[in-house]
Amino acid sequence: MVGHMTNMTEPGAMLVRPAPDDPRLTERVAGIDQTGAAIETSVTVERPLTLYLNGQEIVTMMTIGDYPEYLALGYLLNQNMLRRDDAVTAVDYDEEIETVVVRTERGTDYEEKLRKKTLTSGCAQGTAFGDLMERFESVTLPAAELRTSWLYRLTHAINTMPSLYLEAGAIHGCVLCEQDRPLIYMEDVGRHNAVDKIAGYMFRHGIDPAGKIFYTTGRLTSEMVIKTVQMGIPILVSRSGFTAWGVALARQAGLTLIGRARGKRFVALAGQERIVFDLDPAMVEEERASHRRKGSDRDE
């Protein structure tokens, strides 16, 4: 399993943090810059991962290859192929043939569901099925609050933390947080993959979504909102912008939706009643250019 996991018994420590120095996740590539000068830069590596549920092939995803077990579990949970009460008997990853197999006590057959898969707005081959929202309307999100002091400290901590996002770009990050503390920081070439890894980790380790905050570097699309709601997390924050359907679904579900969270600025378009304004924005520093990822941030 690629990546860096902190000892879970260490007080106040993150459970998972990015591993930008892992040589398997980036490559150095030569080129030239806008002046014609020779340069060498880091680029993110992507590789295929084929997922099986019991004996059935489900999907082949493009991923950076870290935490394939959590990605597989989270994908199946968020596509409603794995139930929260399912007994998972094994998760087997074969790096050589780039395959992960999830086995459950319950028999499964999703041939009809696989026929209905459609392309979504998510980058890197994101897919959703026609009944992706089958659990969406039945979810009741827990009570929660978001203090602006937490939000400012969280965004600063996440945006200054060493990561592939800052090192190489062409990547999305998702972070599970509690109050002003990042807990689990996952990255991948598609934002849906990053959120699925966190969903899989939460499922495997029995992490309660109550009181949690979900942060993403990517756009606040319908898919991001649906997955956050299905995970039972009441607050979703992004440094990027919104889609209209994402906002409408967040309002329908009672999800607090905050975008364009950079430096001292943010915009809330749903669930504003959870926000507690306990810190004057004048006391917060603007985001520095060095805290933005390499290259343009307009493709988030």
Give the three-class secondary structure for 76: helix
Q: Beta strand pairing status for 146-147 and 275-276?
A: parallel
Q: How far apart are alpha carbons 282 and 274 in whole angstroms?
A: 21
Whether pLDDT at 169 is above 90:
no
Contact (Cβ atoms closer than 8 angstroms) between residue 185 and residue 160: no
Look up residue 196 and give its two tokens. Answer: 């699925």
What's the pTM value of the predicted model, to 2 decimals?
A: 0.87
Output the CA angle 134-118-251, nearest 5 degrees. 45
Look up residue 84 and give its two tokens. Answer: 């929260």
What are the boundaries of each domain within the chain?
Answer: 146-291
**Interval 16-62: pLDDT, tens:** 999 999 999 999 999 999 999 999 999 999 999 999 999 899 999 99
Contact (Cβ atoms closer than 8 angstroms) between residue 249 and residue 219: no
Q: How far apart are alpha carbons 6 and 199 in whole angstroms?
A: 18
Output the CA angle 109-205-176, nearest 5 degrees. 100
**Interval 201-249: pLDDT, tens:** 999 999 999 999 999 999 999 989 999 999 999 999 999 999 999 999 9
Architecture in CATH of 146-291: 3-Layer(aba) Sandwich (3.40)
